[in-house]
Amino acid sequence: MAAFSIPSIINLAFKKRLFDNPSEIRKVHKRIVPNFGGIAIFTSFLFSCSLFIKSDLVPQSNVLMAGGLILFMTGLKDDIIGLGPLVKLVAQIISGTIIAVVADIRIDDLHGFLGVGALDYYSSVILTTAFIVSIVNAFNLIDGIDGLAASLGVTLSLIYTYLFWNAGEIGWSYLSIALTGSLIGFMFYNVTPARIFMGDCGSLLLGFIAVVLSIKFIDISSHHHVVFGSVKIESSMGLTLSILIIPIFDTIRVFTLRILRNTSPFKADNNHLHHRLLFLGLSHMQSTLVLVVTNVLFIVMALSLQNLDNTQLISVLVLTVLALNGGLSLYIESFKRSLLAKAHAPEKPVMVKSFGEEILEKITEN
């Protein structure tokens, strides 16, 4: 359905002159592109869920749609007229509170992470809301090049589809695969050269669904026997981190650097992971492939280390991603030095032959 509706959305966006104008320096696109792909993703997702998921399979589905609708409308308004970060933050907090309080989908147990077990109700609500706001923002920030956010969304939704199915949570498995189908339909028009972007209405919604699936998985894994193939899931929080590690690490990294530079953490720049890969000469799709493959490798690592507890596994994942980032930083610095060396290298003098020398060279050749 998403693939079917997008051409009409593109045509309407150009007729009404509603598109992403690459006027900011940080923008990596140099042409106008409609940014309402989130409309197709949301409507396709709603259609699939309404058609195939019975209310008894996901009793909280109406509350989930209410929370998602708040973020979708907030993102849509931001795509059309622009909104300040405070307005979007308030909308994210409201949506997170709805999920934690009304839907009662919460992180109520840290499963021994840092020695913490069960949480009281209010701590659980606060932590869940903060986690939802963080992941929603992380997906909003990672949506910077063609195909990246959608590809990460397809990866995580496929993983959760399989995990929920094995746990006997058929409704949540259907919900996950509905997201997969919506994103794949959108990606037909989002690969280079992208004809449409998902916009804030799409990235906020994607982050919202991703974090709700993650919280539900953590909750289910503490009450159900969950397996991935022959691997029994013992460290659900570590596995969840591996699934979300690219947007989480990218957000923490850029926010930290902005704060260290005495600038607002919400001030946009071109220092995200995908910007760094583009600087090295990779194309949009090559950068997307590198990050998605890295995400998959982290998931494989987390699955292969399920014999560790949550604290140990999360520590291994954090140290690994820091090491990889350090290696990337060193390579980028080396790349910069090579560019500077080439820029300052003296040009070789061009030898201009006289007419007589050219005649003698021709005679010698013959």
Sort residue 115 into left (φ over 0), alpha (ψ -120 to 50) or beta: left
How far the first Cα of the chain sits from its last, in Å, is: 71
Distance CA 247, CA 204 (A): 13
Under a CB-based contact definition with an 8 Å cutoff, are residues 6 and 185 in contact? Answer: yes
Angle ∠(59,61,66) on CA atoms, nearest 5:
135
Higher pLDDT, 287 or 354: 287
Band (pLDDT 50/70/90 cuts) for residue 323 is: very high
Distance CA 69, CA 149 (A): 19
Q: Which of 49-58, 95-104, 133-142, 295-304 has the lowest mean pLDDT?
A: 49-58
Mean pLDDT of 51-76: 92
User: What is the pLDDT, as a whole number, of residue 350?
Assistant: 56
Asked whether the predicted pLDDT for residue 14 surpasses 80, the reply is no
Band (pLDDT 50/70/90 cuts) for residue 366 is: very low
Q: Burial, 77: exposed, middle or buried (Cβ in 10 Å; 0-12, 13-18, 19+)?
A: middle
Mean pLDDT of 323-350: 83
Mean pLDDT of 227-238: 91
Tokens of 174: 């259907």
SS3 category, 231: strand
Mean pLDDT of 32-60: 89
Distance CA 34, CA 9 (A): 8
pTM of whole model > 0.85? yes
Helix (H) or strand (E) holding 84: none
Distance CA 261, CA 258 (A): 5
β-pairing, 231-232 with 227-228?
A: antiparallel
pLDDT digits (tens, 9 = 90+) for 211-226: 999 999 999 988 888 8
Band (pLDDT 50/70/90 cuts) for residue 359 is: low
Nearest-Å Rg of the Cα atoms of the chain is 24
What is the torsional sign of CA 101, 139, 297, 292? Answer: positive
Band (pLDDT 50/70/90 cuts) for residue 254 is: very high
Band (pLDDT 50/70/90 cuts) for residue 9 is: confident
Q: Which of 102-106, 254-258, 358-362 has the lowest mean pLDDT?
A: 358-362
| CB proximity list for 146: less than 8 A, separation 6 or greater | 190, 191, 192, 193, 194, 284, 285, 288
Tokens of 348: 């070789």
> How many Cβ atoms are within 10 Å of 233's Cβ, its own excluded?
21
pLDDT digits (tens, 9 = 90+) for 75-95: 999 988 888 889 999 999 999
